Amino acid sequence: MTITSRDALINALGNYNTRFILDKPSMASQTTGSYVSLWRAAGQPGQGAIPTTAKACDNTLVGGMNFAQQTEPATSYGAYMEVSTSNSAMTVEIHDRIADNGGLVGNVTSAQTVGLDLSALLATSNVAARIGDDDYSDVQWWLEWYTATGSTAVTATVAVTMNDASTTTLAVPWAATRPIGHLISLNSLVPAGSAGKFIRSVDTVTLSATTGTAGNFGVTATRVRMALGSPILNYKSTANWADLGLPEIKNGSCLVPIVLTSTTSSGTVRGGGKIVHG
């Protein structure tokens, strides 16, 4: 059944859908007003593995929400979401984790190779469709922490390649002791000289000094698909297809929760939703 009408959408909500569950414990030692990845949190979906090399992610990975893959012309859409959190004034987002890498450390000051180039992954795991606009403008890039780095604040110089194949560097400040799950957005740090361009790949990361502890961090590329605010603690907020914008969920998407915190923890996150097919 192809969804071509409101009646077909209502039918899919009742009969042709994949239900996803969110049940994640709180991650401590965060920064108020920061983004936190729940990739490494236990619960549902399961705990994702720490990446070791630059790779495309897909719906089969532990850590992502698996859903029924469709045969064209049928496709999938985010059509319902509900969430409650133990912190108030939070936002829970569902992102497609397009690609990632890990294994970078905080106690090395030489350039560390990332090599996460989406243009080289377009033919893998349906990445070409999952990135959205082909100028990479829908892709969000992050530094993501898998193990806490040390207590010295540093600046990271991140070398990137833009959608027009030009190169530039981003100056990324980070405070002491970045914890597991911490995210720093790279998109907002594109310098004025590259305004209007979009990151295609992250090439290297160079720290201004050692943080004192190796830890483990990496680079992640995502695309937000759904989002829902949780204004009151332990209150179930809901969003229907119109609230969510009925985003298309492409085959291969690795759907993961990311939260925008209101305090120094991610809070427990419970809820779920429906991905409809047709």
Asked whether residue 185 is assigned to any structural domain, the reply reads yes
- Alpha-carbon distances, residue 129 vs 22, 79, 82, 119 (angstroms): 25, 19, 27, 12
Asked whether residue 1 is assigned to any structural domain, the reply reads no
In which residue are the tokens 């720093």 written? 184
Q: How far apart are CA 211 and CA 176, in angstroms?
A: 7
- Contact call for residues 37 and 47 (beta carbons, < 8 A): no
Q: Which domain holds residue 266?
A: 6-277
For residues 20-42, average pLDDT = 97
Mean pLDDT of the chain: 97
For residues 194-214, average pLDDT = 98
- Contact call for residues 222 and 98 (beta carbons, < 8 A): yes
- Contact call for residues 171 and 157 (beta carbons, < 8 A): yes
Structure confidence at residue 8 (pLDDT): 87
**Residues constituting the chain:** 278
Q: Quote the number of domains for the chain.
A: 1
Q: Angle CA(131)–CA(133)–CA(139) in degrees, nearest 5?
A: 45
Asked whether residue 180 is assigned to any structural domain, the reply reads yes
Residues 6+ apart with CB under 8 A from 95: 140, 222, 223, 224, 225, 255, 256, 257, 258
Asked whether residue 164 is assigned to any structural domain, the reply reads yes
The model carries a pTM of 0.97
Is 70 exceeded by the pLDDT of residue 1?
A: no
Structure confidence at residue 201 (pLDDT): 98
